[in-house]
């Protein structure tokens, strides 16, 4: 699965200086939550392939979970053990579930051919993980994901912080095949009654392939969190929109005015207000909130200035062959899949990565199992709150320096969340020393994660 890149570290890891021969080998199947711990939250999800009819009439050949798309919102409190039994009723190509943004044990990551086999019709798979961090996440199939996600195999995953539950609303932005954008599966406006003065945390998740923007008409707001990580010192925002990259989330806090308020994305909105309120829509503000300067600085909890590994992830585009097919494919560090780097780390490493994009298009880059902190963009250092992401909007021409701690052993995809781009080769892995997988990819295996 690629050409090992040790990022200046050693094959034996940089902690403990263990000779390679002594690095214990562990299979991804052993990287699980405590099997003896009972579940606190248990959900059963049945996947179907069928003709879907959205409220309002749009139809397409898609997928449902328990008869609906989006699938049921899964909710747990931080620290709870979540158990989800996925049953494939009749999706011929097989299905999995990936917990996007929740840094689960590797065996639960749901990537067909890497952490499990795709669940065939009639089969099932049980996911178990402890919800370690409160925040807004989502789940989706990671088998033939470029077709199954757009077609409906996804839902919201919310982990509540300790203490009394605050008022919140989940907003899943999704564009199904041949439809315009929907909000929680509805075209146009959706409303939720709210008292004047009520403070609502609006949990926006962009489940599409392209970045989008959200804004609030009728009230100032604050951005409380991005990608399941609270921002420090978020100040009131007015007259700006917020970019939510593909796969990314933003939690917006709004205080409901007497006349109600409208949280908008292109083509859709969520109205929060008293019964009968109908706050006006507003055009998207021209200015975009810059998360590089928003909020106040705080400790990262690790020192990114002396990393154990330094990697580059240079995104380009090259003529060549992918699986024998000629084309103009995405490249990583000047090479086309499978000759792309496999980023090798050892547990405990501090990892620095420079991501550049000279490919002509934007790429929402997503690393599984970890959160990255943005250190610089185009050479300018972050001066706001620590900006942690699992999905990073990397514009054409941009350079991002990011860092993370390798604290979750496994084999983790690191790919573009414009899912057709992943099919076109914008996909590689982060790999921990000594971790092996019994699963295989490719046509003969029936596993096809992209
Ligand atoms: Cu949202 Cu590789 O996944
Ligand atoms: Cu891309």
Query: Is the distance from the beta carbon of residue 87 to the nearest atom of ligand 1 less than 6 Å?
Result: no
Residue 323: the pLDDT is: 86
- The pTM (predicted TM-score) of the whole model is 0.96
Q: Which residue's CA is minimally distant from atom 1 of ligand 1?
A: 100
pLDDT in tens, 224-253: 999 999 999 999 999 999 999 999 999 999
Question: Considering only CA atoms, which residue is closest to atom 3 of ligand 1?
Answer: 100
User: CA dihedral in degrees (312, 316, 319, 321; nearest 10)?
Assistant: 50
Range of weakest confidence among 9-13, 273-277, 309-313: 9-13
Return phi, psi of residue 81, to 5°: -95, 120
What gap in Å lies between CA 151 and CA 64, rounded to an integer?
8
CB 247 near ligand 1, within 6 Å: yes
27 or 218, greater pLDDT: 27
Structure confidence by residue, pLDDT tens digits, 132-185: 999 999 999 999 999 999 999 999 999 999 988 889 999 999 999 999 999 999
| pLDDT of 72 over the 50 cut | yes
Cα–ligand 2 centroid distance for 357 (angstroms): 10
**pLDDT above 90 coverage of the chain, percent:** 93
pLDDT, residue 195, reads: 97
Write down the pLDDT at residue 56: 82
% of the chain at pLDDT higher than 70: 97
Q: Is the CB of 142 under 6 A from ligand 1?
A: yes
- Whether 413 lines ligand 1, by a CB cut-off of 6 Å, is yes
Q: How confident is the model at residue 16 (pLDDT cuts 50, 70, 90)?
A: very low
SS3 22: helix
Closest approach atom of ligand 1 to CA 100: 1
Q: For residue range 383-417, what is the model confidence (pLDDT) as tens digits? A: 999 999 999 999 999 999 999 999 999 999 999 99
Q: Is 98 in the pocket of ligand 1 (CB under 6 A)?
A: yes
CA of 427 to the centre of ligand 2 (A): 9
Atom of ligand 1 nearest to the CA of 111: 2
Please tell me the predicted confidence (pLDDT) of residue 55.
86
Radius of gyration for the alpha carbons in the chain, expressed in angstroms and rounded: 21
- Check pocket membership of 229 for ligand 1, CB cut-off 6 A: no
CA torsion 115-121-122-125 (nearest 10°) is 20
List the structure tokens of 54.
């959205």
Cα-to-chain-centroid distance, residue 78:
18
Q: Is 248 in the pocket of ligand 1 (CB under 6 A)?
A: no
CA of 108 to the centre of ligand 1 (A): 13
User: Given this model, what pLDDT does residue 371 score?
Assistant: 98
| φ and ψ at residue 423, rounded to 5 degrees | -60, -35
Structure tokens at 422: 């992943």
Q: How far apart are CA 134 and CA 82, in angstroms?
A: 13
Considering every ligand atom shown, identify the ligand nearest to the alpha carbon of residue 137 and give its number: 1
Q: Report the nearest atom of ligand 1 relative to the CA of 138.
A: 1
pLDDT in tens, 173-191: 999 999 999 999 999 999 9
User: Is the Cβ atom of 100 under 6 angstroms away from ligand 1?
Assistant: yes
């Amino acid at each position: 699965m690629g050409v090992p890149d040790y990022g200046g570290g050693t094959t034996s890891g940089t902690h403990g200086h263990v000779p390679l021969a002594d690095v214990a080998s562990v299979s991804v199947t052993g990287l699980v939550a405590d099997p003896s711990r009972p579940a606190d939250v248990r959900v059963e999800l049945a996947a179907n392939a069928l003709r879907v009819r959205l409220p309002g009439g749009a139809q397409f050949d898609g997928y449902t979970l328990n008869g609906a798309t989006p699938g049921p919102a899964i909710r747990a409190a931080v620290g709870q053990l979540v158990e989800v039994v996925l049953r494939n009723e009749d999706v011929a190509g097989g299905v999995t579930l990936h917990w996007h943004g929740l840094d689960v044990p590797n065996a639960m990551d749901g990537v067909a051919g890497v952490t499990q086999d795709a669940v065939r019709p009639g089969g099932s798979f049980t996911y178990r993980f402890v919800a370690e961090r409160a925040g807004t996440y989502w789940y989706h199939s990671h088998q033939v994901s470029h077709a199954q996600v757009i077609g409906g195999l996804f839902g919201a995953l919310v982990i509540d912080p300790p203490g009394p539950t605050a008022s919140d609303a989940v907003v899943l932005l999704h564009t199904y095949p041949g439809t315009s954008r929907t909000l929680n599966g509805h075209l146009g406006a959706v409303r939720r009654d709210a008292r004047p003065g009520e403070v609502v945390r609006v949990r926006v998740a962009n489940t599409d392939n392209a970045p989008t923007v959200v804004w609030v008409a009728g009230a100032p707001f604050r951005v409380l969190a991005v990608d399941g990580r609270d921002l420090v010192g978020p100040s009131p925002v007015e007259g700006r929109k917020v970019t939510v990259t593909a796969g990314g989330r933003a939690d917006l806090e709004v205080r409901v005015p007497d006349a109600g308020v409208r949280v908008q994305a292109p083509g859709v909105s969520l109205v929060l207000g008293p019964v009968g309120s109908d706050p006006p829509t507003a055009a998207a503000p021209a200015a975009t909130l810059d998360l590089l300067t928003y909020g106040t600085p705080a400790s990262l909890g690790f020192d990114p200035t002396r990393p154990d590994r330094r990697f580059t992830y240079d995104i380009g585009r090259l003529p060549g062959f992918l699986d024998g097919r000629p084309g103009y494919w995405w490249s990583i560090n000047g090479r086309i899949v499978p000759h792309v780097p496999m980023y090798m780390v050892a547990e405990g490493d501090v990892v620095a990565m420079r991501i550049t994009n000279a490919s002509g298009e934007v790429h929402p880059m997503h690393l599984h199992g970890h959160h990255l902190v943005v250190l610089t963009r185009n050479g300018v250092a972050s001066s706001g709150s620590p900006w942690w992401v699992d999905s990073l909007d990397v514009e054409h021409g941009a350079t991002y320096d990011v860092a993370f701690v390798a604290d979750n052993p496994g084999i983790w995809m690191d790919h573009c969340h414009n899912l057709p781009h992943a099919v076109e080769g914008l996909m590689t892995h982060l790999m921990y020393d000594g971790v092996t997988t019994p699963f295989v990819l490719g046509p003969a295996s029936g596993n096809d994660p992209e």
